[in-house]
Every structure is written in C-alpha cells, then in structure tokens.
Structure 1
C-alpha cells in the first residue's frame, strides 16, 4: 500500500490505481474526454507484462487525472 497519504484521504479511484501499481500491474490511458466540469480519463488496467487488459474504469477525479497525465505510460 502507498504511504504517500497516511490519512488515506485519496479518492477511491486513485487508491484503486495505486493498489494496482503496488501489485505490479500496469495501466494505460485508453481515453480522455473534456467535460464542462473537467477532464475524465478511462484507464485500462493491464497485467504486469502489459499483455492483457484485466479491467477498465473511468474517473473525473482531478487528482487522478493529474497523476495519470504526468505519469502516462
């Protein structure tokens, strides 16, 4: 588990992505959509070797959007 936020106040979507990374999984940004309220990203959660998509989810959480924007894979 990530220790970057000891109070565990991160948005559940960012927690989900960090758990995936901590487990060795990889991810890719599958889509981005600009909305009047901000940006929404869709992430594909991939196996550790990046060979198979295991799950997909979308989020409009601004912290998650910023996180994947600076660390896009």
Structure 2
C-alpha cells in the first residue's frame, strides 16, 4: 500500500477531508475540503510518481 502524500496526511490528521478530483498517468489533483466535507479550501497537484499512484488507487476505491 502506498502512503498518502505528506500534505494530504497532515490535512487529514487536522480533521480535514479530501477527495481525488482528477488522476491520470502523469499527475493528479486532490481537493482539500473543510472538515464537514463541503467547501474546497485548496487543491494540490501531485506529479511525483508515488503520489500519482496513491491518487489512482484512491480514485479507483471511490468508484467501487
């Protein structure tokens, strides 16, 4: 299992929610949400291969 990117893990540890908005072979976009899962507070663009792989796994799990 690939660990979450540090920025996403810190956000989650602080009580925030997140979702993978986009993922392809080269990059992924993660939306950081308020703790109630509502409003988008920020967006992260992931380009590191490990982080992109993590996002692809998360996106696939959300579809199931």
Query: Which of 43, 49, 54 lines up with 2:30 in the alignment?
Result: 43
SS at match of 2:11: helix
User: Which has more helix, going by share of residues?
Assistant: 2
- Note the C-alpha offset of 1:61: 1.2
Match for residue 60 of structure 1 among 47, 54, 59: 47
CA distance in 2, matches of 1:40, 1:71: 14
Q: Which has the higher relative contact order, 1 or 2, with Cα contacts under 8 A spaced 6 or more apart?
A: 2
Gaps of 5+ in 2: none
User: Offset of 1:63 from its aligned partner?
Assistant: 1.7
Higher alpha-carbon Rg = 1
Structure 1: gaps spanning 5 or more residues: 1-13
